[in-house]
Amino acid sequence: MLNYRRLIVGEMGTNCYLLWSNDKKAIIIDPGDEGTEIAQIINELGLKPIVILLTHGHFDHIMGVIDLQLIFNIPVAMSQEDIFLTNRAQKTAQYYLKKKINKIKIKTNNTSFKTIKLGEENIKIIKTPGHTPGSVCFYAQKSGLLFSGDTIFANGVGDTRHQYSSKNELQKSIQKILKIDKNVLVLPGHGDEINLILLKKLFLQNFVNYLA
């Protein structure tokens, strides 16, 4: 079983997750900001990060990458389809946050990753396009944890207001997640965690129209 901790970072209140096995090897998911603060917590916990995983390329999920890569010198895994977003992250951040940030360059991508081994766990990458073309979820089946990024939240689904978003794709992606028959804990990119059985109930009650 893996251990995890949620850290809420940045002005958009993004959930960054640290996920680690008993031997203290760790994965950093979506370091949205405050890279040095995240590094400090990693050190306090005595963790040894091996990779940074990104659920998608939006600036509020990736801004901590630069500092963490400098500090730990580890690869970053993200969908090729979202690289265009990281290239424009500086501009987008300026628009939303009204301040300048450093240019974020993601050198590695996860097209070669299908699963990532951490302790006894093989973490699966589930492609869930819609919110962005390259959105993915990370599924640690044995531990019953699903990191859902901005695809699905405790109270709704990811927004599809961008030109490159697709409501149709998102709908298919959500159905993929709802098909998981284990009662996993869903850990979204913003807001609180929720278990999948409860989420399914909420969906049936509230989101049928939204998704139609």
- Comparing C-alpha atoms, which of 211, 183, 180 is closest to residue 198? 183
Nearer to Zn ion, 9 or 47 (CB): 9
Regarding beta strands 76-77 and 115-118, do their DSSP bridges make them parallel or antiparallel, or are they unpaired? unpaired
Rounded Cα distance between 200 and 179, Å, is 9
Nearer to Zn ion, 67 or 150 (CB): 150
Pair type for strands 145-149 and 185-188: parallel
Q: Give the burial class of 26: count Cβ atoms within 10 A of its Cβ; 0-12 exposed, 13-18 middle, 19 or more buried.
A: buried
Site string for Zn ion, 11-50 (x = CB under 5 A): ----------------------------------------
Q: Which residues neighbour 43 within 8 Å (Cβ) at sequence distance 6 or greater? A: none
| 14 in Cβ contact with 32 (< 8 Å) | yes
Minimum separation from the CB atom of position 73 to Zn ion (A): 27
Nearest CB to Zn ion, comparing residues 131 and 196: 131
- Please report how close the Cβ of residue 201 comes to Zn ion at its closest, in angstroms: 25
* Non-local CB neighbours of 23 within 8 Å, separated by 6+ positions: 119
Name the residue nearer to Zn ion (CB basis): 49 or 149.
149
Residues 134-153 that bind Zn ion (CB under 5 A): 150
82 binds Zn ion, rule: CB under 5 A:
no
Which listed residue (38, 58, 140, 199) binds Zn ion by CB under 5 A? 58
- Of the two residues 21 and 151, which places its CB atom closer to Zn ion in the complex? 151
Interacting residues toward Zn ion by CB under 5 A: 58, 150
